[in-house]
Structures are given as structure tokens and as C-alpha cells.
Amino acid sequence: MKTDREKWDHRYSQETVQTLTPDSFLYDYQGLLSSGRALDAACGLGANSIFLAAHGYEVDAIDISIVAVSRLRAEATHRNLPIRCLVADLDNYILPKQIYDLVVVFYFFFSSFHCPNT
């Protein structure tokens, strides 16, 4: 049985074209975006991260797939965008508390949020 990381790495290594279209919700409500620090949880190939960074956000992009995060890191570097990429399993990763102005999560179900106590 494949782990989540193996499943997603396989999927992203099979994709030859990187779709850089953000989720329609972000696109439709881009007028509400300002700037600050954003978290894109389960970012995949990072279309939403790229969109947010292009709209003035410093983005932390987290995904379980090494392949997806590597591709996003390369694209962010190519475009000179402020995106910090991290490979992590969000089922176990402890998210920092009270540092983000915006958090986006599309197509991922958190079994629970893990935030340290303050």
C-alpha cells in the first residue's frame, strides 16, 4: 500500500503540464486581497501560492509531495516570488499560530488542526 506521499509524488510526476490557474474562488474574490503573510495548505503545484504572491502576499506553501513542492520552488524562483516551500504531512505538522493574514485550503480535509498552545 502506498503512503500519501508516494501517491501524490506519483501523481505530480505524471503531470507534464503545470496548470497555473488559481482556484476560481480566489480569482473571483481577488478584489478582497491586500497583502501580508499567507499560508497555502496542501498547495499541490502551487497555482494558488503563485497567485497570492503575485498579489502582494509572502506565502508559505506546504504540501506532502516532494515532487510538487520542488516544482513550485523552481517556478517561484523563476518568477522571483516570495514563496517559502515546505514538504510536510499536514496530518501531523504543527501549524504556527497567529502569524498569517490569510489561510487558503482547497481540496484537502484536515482531520484536525495542530496548533501549539499559547
| CATH value at residue 86 | 3.40.50.150
pTM here? 0.86
Task: Report which of 64, 83, 62 is spatially closest to residue 74, judged by C-alpha positions.
Answer: 83
Domain count, the chain: 1
Task: Report which of 65, 63, 71 is spatially closest to residue 3, judged by C-alpha positions.
Answer: 65
Q: Is residue 54 part of a domain?
A: yes
Give the pLDDT band (50/70/90) at residue 81.
very high
Reduced to 3 states (helix: H, G, I; strand: E, B; else coil), residue 39 is strand
Per this entry, what is the length of the chain? 118
Q: Is residue 41 part of a domain?
A: yes
Q: How far is 28 from 12, CA to CA, in rounded Å?
A: 26
Q: Is residue 102 part of a domain?
A: yes
| pLDDT beyond 90 at 107 | no
Q: Is residue 11 part of a domain?
A: no
Report the Cα–Cα distance between both ends of the chain, in Å, rounded.
Answer: 38
Give residue 92's domain range.
35-107
* pLDDT tens digits for range 23-61: 999 999 999 999 999 999 999 999 999 999 999 999 999
Strands in 36-41's sheet, in edge-to-edge order, are 83-87, 57-63, 36-41, 102-105
Q: Is residue 7 part of a domain?
A: no
